[in-house]
Amino acid sequence: SFATGLLILAAWGCQSTPVPTAPPPDLPASTDAASPDVLAERAAAAGTSKQAATLYLQSARLYYDENQQAAARQSFSAIQVADLEDADLAAYLLLNAELAIAVGDYPRARASLLTIDANDLSDPLRLDLTEARLLAAEGRPASAARRLMSVDAPTNDVTAPQAVNDAIWKYLNQLSALEPGASTASSEPIEQGWWSLRRAMLESFSLADQIARLSSWQKAWPNHPATTNLPSGLKAVTAEIRRPARVGLLLPLSGSLSRAGRAVRDGFITAYLRFGRNASFNLTLYDTASDSVSNLYEQALVDGMDLLVGPLRKESVVEINGLNPELPVLALNYLTTEQPAPNLLQVGLAIEDEAESIAARLERDGAKRLLVLHNDESWAIRASRTLRSQWQAPLTQQTVMDLKTITESVGAGMFVAASESRRNELSEVLREDLQFLPRARGDIDAVVALITNIEANALVPALRFHFAQNLPVYASSQAVRGASPQDLRELSGFLISELPWFVVENSTYTEMNEAFGLSADPLSPLYALGVDAFRLCDRLPLFSSGAIAQLLGSAGALRMEEGGRFKREMAWGRVVNSQLAPASRTTGR
């Protein structure tokens, strides 16, 4: 009712306003011909009348639709709510919710939306889109997408169905590529179609394969809303884009790094031979161990390359970045502090991505206090540093210097030494020898193990010795890399951050494992990197433009960040019966 709305609005007026973020609305274009500036001027001239309130509301609405958030808030704050007509209150409450979402005030937005009757709105679709936007802002993109999948967009507005489908696709793309989504068997037909489309696009192996999968999907779902109004991002996929005709691989194929270079090469070429019949490019190999990167880059220009994939060494990536290349370059390692050149994109196997995946998983599982055990290798130190930077709750770090001292390291992390020290102090005060069993701390929720497979096997009895065997252990992929079935048996129950192709059913991995023996090869991540490089190379412009949001890759779920850096999210496995089995994305606590 109007009175209820006034009471809620009065309460809002006493709250402080968060810092605005001003996201653009996912709405059809406004058809109001009057400019918001003119409406605001008319409202100011009208004084405190009902006409002024209506004009300020119209002005604020148009400002918001034009993404002029500051001006929208100014006009909105000038509205005298008591002067609004009853018919305008629902529109006022809806705009209030939209402005609240823009500044991150989600409770205010939720309270406002709960008071709105869709029948009081001239455009009920706005309410549907705003409720979905709030769900996504609250971190529930799957719920936001489902909220719109059941919406019947009005047919009298040709832009409305497209706006709904674009919003659904945007929210589906906000989900991790590793998120399975809804069970298509238990969902409504329209929802089944959306999840099926998402899966087909994430798993596509090349641009040609993606277009073919999209065409097959449209034939299978001829009456689906997304077939009638294809999401704009997918329209870009089917549009003509300039694909590379000649691709050069810059890899160390001789010298000390030749095994690593050949692993990437074999992954790339295996993918090329499997799907290359639809690829539009020819391939040329350049050995970065035989000449300088700058000389090889000049040779690639002479050879007419359209895209370079590589180099692999970090120092070589810095070198080619310094050339400010005119050719697009997909580097296979990351710059550290250097500003990337406009044509340089980066994908790789950064341990920092794995550490961030572990932190995100721990947060989803509800862990609060961590014991982080890491060895003194550079990758483990970098991973522990990243994990600490991502973790806001209490965290204890302990370095595992060698196998002989791993029990002592666990004891130190569990404060067993402190318990013994208190016993000794008390014994001195009482001047008698006390019967005593050292006790480990009981406030740890989880152990994070950034150690090798050999060290992980020594960790199990160390945890048991200190009565910590029931603590969940989250380990990086190095804990199982090259592990035998017997090794895995010792790690039963460990949760492992791992490459997707080890834990997600993948025919490419199956074929490559038979050819190269990847399951026992410590270089297997480099094969995966080569496969992903192939899958990216003819779709880089679509990633750069935002038409493609992410890819379920072999080395990780890949999403492009600002600066052209592809970030990996790891899959999760659990050691069960001497094997690494797929694990759900959360265990709950």
Task: Tokens 């740890």: give the residue.
Answer: 444
Contact 509, 502 (CB under 8 A): yes
Q: Is 157 left (phi over 0), alpha (psi -120 to 50) or beta?
A: beta
- The answer, yes or no, to whether the previous bond of 231 is cis (omega within 30 of 0) is no
Between residues 463 and 536, the one the model is more confident about: 536
Predicted pLDDT at 361: 95
* Encoded tokens for 501: 């192709």
CB neighbours of residue 260 within 10 Å? 18
Predicted pLDDT at 470: 86
Contact 98, 123 (CB under 8 A): no
Give Cα 435 to chain centroid, integer Å. Answer: 53
Contact 119, 94 (CB under 8 A): no
> Inter-axis angle of helices 406-413 and 453-465, to 10 degrees?
60
Q: What is the chain's mean pLDDT, rounded?
A: 87
Number of alpha carbons in the 13 Å side-chain half-sphere of residue 319: 16
Q: Categorize the per-residue pLDDT at 414 as very low, low, confident or very high, splitting at 50, 70 and 90.
A: confident
Q: Compute the CA torsion angle 252, 254, 255, 257 (nearest 10 deg).
A: 40
Contact 575, 493 (CB under 8 A): yes
Contact 557, 180 (CB under 8 A): no
Contacts of 346 (CB under 8 A, 6+ apart): 317, 330, 331, 333, 334, 335, 340, 564, 565, 566
DSSP 150-172: T----TT-THHHHHHHHHHHHHH
Q: Categorize the per-residue pLDDT at 182 as very low, low, confident or very high, splitting at 50, 70 and 90.
A: low
**pLDDT over 50 at 202, yes or no:** yes
With b for 16 or more beta-carbon neighbours within 10 A and e for fewer, the 499-525 pattern comes to bbbbbbebebbeebbeebebeebebbb
Question: How far is Cα 311 from Cα 213, in angstroms, rounded to an integer?
Answer: 32
Contact 518, 509 (CB under 8 A): yes
Whole-number Cα distances in Å, 68 to 62, 108, 213, 499, 582: 9, 21, 39, 43, 46
**pLDDT over 50 at 423, yes or no:** no
290-322 pLDDT tens trace: 999 999 999 999 999 999 999 999 999 999 999
Between residues 155 and 409, the one the model is more confident about: 409
Residues counted in the chain: 589
Contacts of 234 (CB under 8 A, 6+ apart): 169, 201, 214, 226, 547
495-548 pLDDT tens trace: 999 999 999 877 888 889 888 888 878 899 999 999 999 999 989 999 988 889
Predicted pLDDT at 469: 81
Predicted pLDDT at 97: 97
* Encoded tokens for 107: 């409770």
Q: Name the pTM for this structure.
A: 0.85
Predicted pLDDT at 437: 47
Beta bridge partners of 473: 447
Q: Is 467 left (phi over 0), alpha (psi -120 to 50) or beta?
A: left
**pLDDT over 80 at 415, yes or no:** no
**pLDDT over 50 at 193, yes or no:** yes
Predicted pLDDT at 424: 52
Predicted pLDDT at 33: 55
Strand order in the sheet with 446-450: 395-400, 370-375, 446-450, 473-475, 495-498, 571-576, 579-582
Contacts of 111 (CB under 8 A, 6+ apart): 8, 12
Q: Categorize the per-residue pLDDT at 434 as very low, low, confident or very high, splitting at 50, 70 and 90.
A: very low
Predicted pLDDT at 587: 65
Beta bridge partners of 444: none
What average pLDDT does range 71-94 have in this prediction?
A: 93
Burial (CB count <10 Å: 0-12, 13-18, 19+), residue 227: middle
CB neighbours of residue 541 within 10 Å? 16
What average pLDDT does range 30-41 have in this prediction?
A: 76
Contact 345, 559 (CB under 8 A): no
* Amino acid identity for residue 475 in this structure: A
Contact 146, 164 (CB under 8 A): no
Torsion sign across C-alpha atoms 478, 483, 489, 490: negative
